[in-house]
Amino acid sequence: MLGPHAFRAVRLDRNRHLITEEEQDQLAELRIGVVGLSVGHTLAYTLAAEGLCGELRLADFDHLELSNLNRVPLSVLDLGVNKATAAARRIAELDPYLKVSVVTAGITADTIDAFLDGLHIVVEECDSLDTKVMVREAARARRIPVIMATDYRGLLDVERYDLEPTRPILHGLLGDIDAAALSGLSDWDKIPHLYRITSPEKVTAREAAAFIEVGSTRSGWPQLASEVQLGAASVAEAVRKIGLQQPLSSGRIRMDVEEMLSRIDDPAAHATDRQTAGPACAAQSDADADPLAEAAQLGDVVDVVAAAANRAPSVGNAQPWRIRADRDCVVIELAPEHTSLVDIGLRCSAVGIGAAVFNARVAAAAHGVLGPVEIGAVSERSPLTATVRLGSGDDPDLARLYEPMLARQTNRHYGTPTPISDETVEMLELAARGEGARLQVLRSRDDIDRAARIIGASDRIRYLTPELHAELVAELHWPTDPAANSGIDVRSLELDAFRLMMLEQICRPEVTAQLARWDGGVALGFDGFARLSSSSALALVYVQGRSLADYARGGSASQAVWIRAQQEGLAVGPTTPLFLYAHNDQELHGLSSSYGAQLQRLQLEFAELADADTGESPAILLRFCTAPSPSVRSRRRPLAEWRKGVRSGADA
């Protein structure tokens, strides 16, 4: 058999993470006394089974009878054995290393001091009112909390004498009578006192009738095993709270299963399954419409160019722009109000502006109105402005990209890693160079898997950092949410039922906060790792320089690469590790103060893998794979609003 430490670790392993290892060690320091081992048997065994103490003291003078076996989980082989001894034997079979002592004389004036000395908690489950009072008086003098569970409608009673050393025993329900006075009363005279402490207004008609029958048609109190087991669960929770110094006040509470069952409800009658189709699905027709057909409905070419700019991708589909369609130009302004924490220094937004500019140029070329582009103007309204002027020029290569540009989509399917030819890579590199950028493609399985591990670790930090988690969750729109013109439709994540269920739980801030407290959550990076490791290749677009105009140039190159890759039959999707746009350690710590050092390490590992040239900045990271078409298209503002000539951008 394993030694004590290994035995305890293995036996209690399934408690994790409901009880952490640190909490389990803290609870192992508790010494708990249980008085009364009929109901107390199940309670004591539960405390031992969950590892909620390091020592148990059991006290009962009585011996097991056949009538006890309706609620005491022992056997006919134990009949006639002292109840405390029988409980100790059963616990020893569960955990031979747990220290257990018994007082077979029960609790008396002669045994109570030795029994209580050094205890942290007393669980009192005896039948005698005298003993109930004696235990509480002695426990109060030693500032030991007392817990009691009754088998009447799930009553849990807590008296925190450790926090309230002058608190009246049994909450003052007995008045001024003490143990000495009670001991002089007959059983008949004790009944009114017992009646008062049972909260008679809460007793059911059946319980009250059974109470009346005691002494005539019955010799003792009626008790059920199911109620005893319910009491064990509530006592265990109370012990955990006291032992871990979590809030728990004195008082009573009932967990009345009978009453709860009278309120049983059909969950389907008011289910709000966020994963099923809802209002957003009906409105999705706007997003599923053919962009080419929509563009054809626009009568004015400047509106066509503006609409094309609006089809550009952006991180989180934030659409970080304001677009103004004038008579002879389309003005695209960076809108700082749509920034996020990941958008360090608005660099990510600038990439989106560049992608919008590329789309506008493609549309202008396709309609024979291509003119010059001015990027970099700064105004009070925006730190970066791009003006696409309409002229009379043309560019056949750009013009041929018009329909592919409108068909471009983000594909988040898990992919099939099929090889990409050298010719395709060269063509994509040429597309990036044409926009003043450099494309680096990672194709080896080792490089892809290494990048996937780095980005999976980055995703974990995004979930575990409260502010980043809140932004991420706010981006998501579920089928039952009102239709939105920005953000990410959950259906576009292409998750199966299990992963959708996991996402729902991960979106809860209290869940990720608990994982952060445990320094856990490794699984939070599994999805990102799986997506990237299923890639045929990863592609980084680099630009020389660090200004917003430089990042905008990178955005144009990114869009050129994306469109041409999709033309080649590749499924394309961006991924944005937290560190991608950070220039220094201060910016990394600004993203996540708790995980700044980890982000530094991840950024260094990624830089070693990506091998950027001196002075280069990454504009985007794309994944290429073979995959089915996306389930839904990302939404944009309705094109009808462009005819007004101004896009406010307030809700983008």
Which parts of the chain register pLDDT below 50?
218, 277-287, 641-652
**Interstrand relation of 251-254 and 571-575 (parallel, antiparallel or unpaired):** unpaired
Report which of 137, 126, 122 is spatially closest to residue 177, judged by C-alpha positions.
137
* pTM (2 d.p.): 0.80
The reply to whether 290 and 434 lie within a common domain is: yes
72 and 220 in a common domain: yes
CATH code of the domain containing 215 = 3.40.50.720
Report which secondary-structure segment, H or E, holds 541: strand 537-544
How is residue 407 written in tokens?
């068909």
Q: Is residue 266 part of a domain?
A: no
**Do 636 and 541 have their domain in common?**
yes
Q: At which of 213, 240, 256 does a domain end?
A: 256
Residue type at 148 in one-letter notation:
M
Interacting residues of 271 by C-beta distance below 8 A, sequence separation 6+: none
AA letter at 594? S
Residues 243, 312 within the same domain? no
Q: Can you spell out the DSSP letters for 325-356?
A: E-SSEEEEEE-GGG--TTSGGGHHHHHHHHHH
Whether residue 273 lies inside any domain: the answer is no
Q: Are residues 220 and 368 in the same domain?
A: no
Longest Cα pair distance anywhere in the chain, in angstroms?
A: 112
Collapse the DSSP code of 162 into the 3-class scheme (helix H, G, I; strand E, B; otherwise coil) and give the result. Answer: coil
Domain-embedded: residue 442: yes
Residues 229 and 316 in one domain: no
Alpha-carbon distances, residue 124 vs 63, 149, 163, 198, 441 (angstroms):
18, 8, 18, 15, 70
The predicted pLDDT at position 381 comes to 82
Q: What is the pLDDT of residue 273?
A: 62
323 φ/ψ sector (left φ>0, alpha ψ -120 to 50, else beta): beta
Helix (H) or strand (E) holding 551: helix 548-567
Name residues whose C-beta falls within 8 Å of residue 214's C-beta, 6 or more positions apart in sequence: 220, 221
Pair (219, 360) in one structural domain: no
Count of the separate structural domains present in the chain: 2
- On whether both 227 and 332 belong to a single domain, the answer is no
**Cα 319 to Cα 323, 361, 381, distances in angstroms:** 10, 18, 16
Q: Label residue 439 exposed, middle or buried (CB < 10 Å: 0-12, 13-18, 19+).
A: buried
The 3 state secondary structure assigned to 449-466 is HHHHHHHHHHHHHHHHCH
Phi and psi at 442, nearest 5°, equal -100, 120
- Answer yes or no: is 651 within a domain: no
- pLDDT score of 403: 96
* Residue 292 shares a structural domain with residue 242: no
Of the candidates 403, 417, 450, the residue with the CA atom closest to the CA atom of residue 571: 417
Hey, what are 213's tokens?
A: 């029958």
Q: Residue 588 and residue 65: Cα distance in Å, rounded?
A: 69
Q: Which domain holds residue 289?
A: 282-644
Identify the pLDDT of residue 280: 40
Question: Which of 199, 222, 256 is the last residue in one of the domains?
Answer: 256
How does DSSP assign 354-407, residue by residue?
Answer: HHHHHHHHHHHHHTT-EEEEEEEE--SS-S-EEEEEE-SB--HHHHTTHHHHHH
What's the CATH number where 588 sits? Answer: 3.40.109.10
Query: Are 291 and 242 contained in the same domain?
Result: no
Do 94 and 159 share a domain, yes or no?
yes
Rounded to the nearest 10°, the torsion over CA 404, 407, 413, 416 is -30
Predicted confidence at residue 256, as pLDDT, reads 86
Domain C-terminal end among 203, 221, 256: 256
Residue 274 lies in a domain: no
Closest-CA residue to 384 (of 373, 371, 395): 373
Residue 262 falls inside a structural domain: no
**Which residue is listed with tokens 């982000």?**
599
Q: Which residue has the tokens 């944009």?
A: 636
Q: Are residues 391 and 355 in the same domain?
A: yes
* Domain presence at residue 272: no
Exposure class string for 136-158: b at 16+ Cβ within 10 A, else e: bebbbeeebbbbbbbbbbbbbbb
264 inside domain: no
Closest to 329 measured CA to CA, from 388, 249, 270, 256: 388
**What tokens were used for 354?**
């560049």
Cβ atoms of 511 and 581 within 8 Å: the answer is no
